[in-house]
Amino acid sequence: MLWHADAAFTGRHRFLLTAAPGGKTTFEHSEAFTGFLIPMLAGLGMFKAIARMYDQMNEALKVRVEQHAELDRREATEDIFVPE
């Protein structure tokens, strides 16, 4: 998934999901900025703040995905009771 916004600066935001061994998925999350406002925005600390928010979002996504994977594993290994 990729999107960008054109203005006094442009941000190209990307989520890349790649199949990994063992039925796992590698998640890559990045954003690249260009434009004449970039030095000023960087000086205001905007990109450090954005990076912290993305780190928090990535960690929350990781926790959620791992919780769902654990539930799926449990469901797959539960004995199914079939009444006689």
Sequence spans of domains, the chain: 2-77
10 or 81, higher pLDDT: 10
Q: Mean pLDDT across the stretch 45-69?
A: 90
Dihedral, CA of residue 58, residue 64, residue 66 and residue 70, to nearest 10 = 180
pLDDT score for 80: 61
Contact of 28 with 16, CB cutoff 8 Å: yes
**What is the secondary structure of 10-69 as a DSSP string?**
EEEEEEEEEEEGGGEEEEEEEEEEESTTHHHHHHTTHHHHHHHHHHHHHHHHHHHHHHHH
Q: Which amino acid is at 29?
A: H
Cα torsion angle, 16, 20, 26, 30, sign:
negative
**Mean pLDDT to the nearest integer, 17-42:** 89
pLDDT band at 55 (very low <50, low <70, confident <90, very high): very high
